[in-house]
């Protein structure tokens, strides 16, 4: 049975700040024990797509970085390049990725250490991992900058996801640590049964150049597998590598839908890919923290963030990625849905109803696939003990300064001299507050 440590999202003191709770769970789980002086420690998180607003705030990352430094580690914040995914994706190259996350508040200055796009400029700087135990993937490619780290803290935002159904530790590691080559693999590019090459194709539904968006479709495929004519669309299926850039546009028009079981197989492949990343770094060298806050129905990889589908659940920590995700799923199921959210529209407001199958997935794909596959391939267990952790007794470690305000600022107040004007400020002596009530 795996241990999952938990603290809720209520904050009423220095020790119960969510940042403080994250650090308390770090210590309680014993993550510091794997960090030795001069170890390179990767802090892996998703720093948000352009205009997304639900991603993890930089303050959590800075606090972790400072903690790792205090233990003698050499931290780096890491992520990888993405597939196009959407028509106007913003993190497909390292250059675009760094520009996007800087706008989102992530720079070396804000996080306190270098930010490394671990798979290089275009996503082919990677390490191949043999994966004979994989459920569907038998090899995978992990970003070199992650694979060569001595240890890793996987800081994950728990929320919905359009392909994985939900996104947590398994998704952050499985997709986020994979190079672009690895992402093409886990999204089943070229797969003979589940890959996009096999998708139903109905070209007669395309209006051709009569459609106001035809130029977008003409320029949407990086491989040139799509061309537009006066009469309609032509798709060279053999030229498709499965980068997903065209999927939203073509599916919206009904021209090319995903193949049967595509999303189910992709969710399974995410768990396989997570195992590859864990193998690359080494056994006992990854600590998992899930922030179940701002639980949007879709991932931080889309360029918007909808209303949370359930209230904030809290913060979780574990050495087991399957167990920590299972605990988060259980808490979300136990929670009531958020009024006015997708949970209300999908009819899953009541406690006891699974939330992500309805709210995260395009097509009602089971939210159990990722953790079930993770358990089957030996990455972790779904059998967990949820341990509620009390706040730290002492708030000293969570303070900006341990010098009281009087001692710290007395000299400056005296030196300035005129902070409080002689005779006081001009104000009314008494007002009718009852009238304002």
Residue 249 confidence (pLDDT): 86
> Contact 33/417 with Cβ under 8 angstroms?
no
Both 19 and 159 in one domain: the answer is yes
SS3 content of the chain, % helix, strand, coil (to 5): 35, 15, 50
Residues paired with 234 in a beta bridge: 227
> Contact 239/188 with Cβ under 8 angstroms?
no
**Residue 283 included in any domain:** yes
Residue 260 makes CB contacts below 8 A (sequence gap 6+) with none
**Eight-class DSSP state of 256:** B
For the packed helices 369-376 and 262-281, what is the interaxial angle rounded to 10 degrees?
Answer: 50
**Residue 194 included in any domain:** no
> Contact 151/64 with Cβ under 8 angstroms?
no
**C-alpha span between 8 and 148 (Å, rounded):** 34
> Contact 214/228 with Cβ under 8 angstroms?
yes
> Contact 159/294 with Cβ under 8 angstroms?
yes
Residue 86 confidence (pLDDT): 83
Residue 340 confidence (pLDDT): 98
Residue 155 confidence (pLDDT): 98
Residue 231 confidence (pLDDT): 84
Both 184 and 204 in one domain: the answer is no
Burial of 386 (0-12, 13-18, 19+ CB in 10 A): middle
Both 307 and 238 in one domain: the answer is no
Residue 24: CATH number of its domain: 3.40.50
Both 233 and 291 in one domain: the answer is no
**C-alpha span between 218 and 329 (Å, rounded):** 41
Both 210 and 350 in one domain: the answer is no
Strand duo 159-161 + 165-167: pairing: antiparallel
Any idea what the Cα angle at residue 426 is, between residues 425 and 428, rounded to 5°? 120
For residue 409, give both structure tokens: 């600022």
Query: How far is C-alpha 189 from the chain's CA centre?
Result: 22
- Nearest of 58, 62, 57 to residue 23 by alpha carbon: 62
Both 24 and 128 in one domain: the answer is yes
Both 129 and 44 in one domain: the answer is yes
**C-alpha span between 384 and 65 (Å, rounded):** 28
Q: Report the domain count for the chain.
A: 3
In the three-class reduction of DSSP (H, G, I as helix; E, B as strand; rest coil), residue 258 is classed as coil
Both 337 and 416 in one domain: the answer is no
- Nearest of 270, 264, 113, 56 to residue 178 by alpha carbon: 270
Both 266 and 126 in one domain: the answer is yes
> Contact 122/82 with Cβ under 8 angstroms?
no
Residue 43 confidence (pLDDT): 98
Both 334 and 206 in one domain: the answer is no
**C-alpha span between 139 and 131 (Å, rounded):** 5
Both 68 and 121 in one domain: the answer is yes
Both 78 and 221 in one domain: the answer is no
The whole-model pTM stands at 0.96
**C-alpha span between 80 and 78 (Å, rounded):** 7
In the three-class reduction of DSSP (H, G, I as helix; E, B as strand; rest coil), residue 355 is classed as coil
- Nearest of 14, 101, 3, 4 to residue 58 by alpha carbon: 101
For every one of its 437 residues, what pLDDT tens digit does the chain have, with 9 covering 90 and above?
Answer: 999 999 999 999 999 999 999 999 999 999 999 999 999 999 999 999 999 999 999 999 999 999 999 999 999 999 999 999 888 899 999 999 999 999 999 999 999 999 999 999 999 999 999 999 999 999 999 999 999 999 999 999 999 999 999 999 999 999 999 999 999 999 999 999 999 999 999 999 998 898 999 999 999 999 999 999 888 899 999 999 999 999 888 888 899 889 999 999 999 999 999 999 999 999 999 999 999 999 999 999 999 999 999 999 999 999 999 999 999 999 999 999 999 999 999 999 999 999 999 999 988 999 999 999 999 999 999 999 999 999 999 999 999 999 999 999 999 999 999 999 999 999 999 999 999 99
Domain, as residue range, for 421: 396-436
Residue 229 confidence (pLDDT): 87
């Amino acid at each position: 049975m795996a241990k999952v440590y938990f603290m809720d999202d209520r904050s009423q003191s220095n020790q119960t700040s969510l940042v403080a709770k994250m650090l308390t769970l770090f210590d309680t789980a014993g993550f510091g024990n794997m960090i030795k002086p001069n170890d390179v420690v990767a802090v892996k998180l998703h720093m948000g797509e352009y205009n997304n607003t639900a991603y993890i705030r930089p303050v959590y990352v800075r606090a972790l970085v400072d903690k790792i430094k205090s233990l003698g580690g050499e931290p780096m914040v890491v992520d990888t390049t993405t597939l196009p995914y959407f028509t106007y994706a913003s993190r497909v190259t390292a250059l675009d990725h760094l520009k996007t996350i800087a706008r989102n508040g992530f720079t070396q200055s804000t996080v306190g250490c270098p930010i490394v796009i671990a798979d290089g400029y275009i996503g082919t700087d990677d390490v191949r991992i043999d994966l004979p135990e994989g459920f569907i993937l038998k090899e995978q490619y992990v970003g070199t900058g992650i694979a060569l780290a001595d240890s890793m803290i996987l800081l994950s935002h728990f929320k919905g996801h359009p392909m994985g159904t939900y996104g947590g530790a398994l998704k952050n590691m499985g997709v986020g640590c994979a190079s672009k080559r690895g992402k093409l693999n886990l999204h089943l590019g070229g797969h003979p049964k589940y890959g996009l090459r096999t998708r139903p194709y109905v070209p007669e539904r395309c209006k051709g150049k009569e459609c106001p968006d035809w130029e977008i479709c003409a320029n949407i495929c990086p491989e040139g597998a799509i061309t537009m004519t006066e009469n309609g669309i032509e798709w060279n299926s053999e030229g498709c590598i499965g980068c997903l850039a065209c999927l939203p546009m073509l599916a919206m028009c009904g021209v090319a839908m995903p193949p049967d079981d595509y999303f189910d197989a992709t969710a399974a492949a995410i768990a396989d890919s997570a195992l590859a990343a864990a193998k690359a770094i080494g056994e006992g060298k990854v600590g998992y923290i899930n922030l179940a806050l701002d639980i949007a129905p879709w991932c931080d990889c889309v360029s918007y963030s909808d209303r949370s589908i359930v209230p904030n659940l809290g913060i979780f920590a574990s050495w087991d990625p399957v167990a920590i995700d299972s605990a988060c799923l259980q808490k979300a199921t136990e929670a009531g849905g958020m009024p006015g959210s997708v949970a209300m529209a999908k009819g899953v407001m009541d406690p006891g109803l699974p939330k992500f199958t309805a709210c995260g997935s395009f097509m009602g794909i089971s939210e159990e696939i990722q953790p079930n596959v993770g358990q089957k391939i030996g990455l972790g267990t779904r059998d967990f003990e949820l341990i509620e952790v009390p706040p730290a007794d002492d708030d000293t470690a969570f303070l900006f300064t341990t010098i009281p305000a009087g001692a710290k600022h007395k000299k400056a107040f005296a030196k300035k001299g005129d902070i409080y004007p002689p005779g006081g400020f001009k104000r009314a002596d008494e007002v009718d507050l009852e009238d304002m009530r």
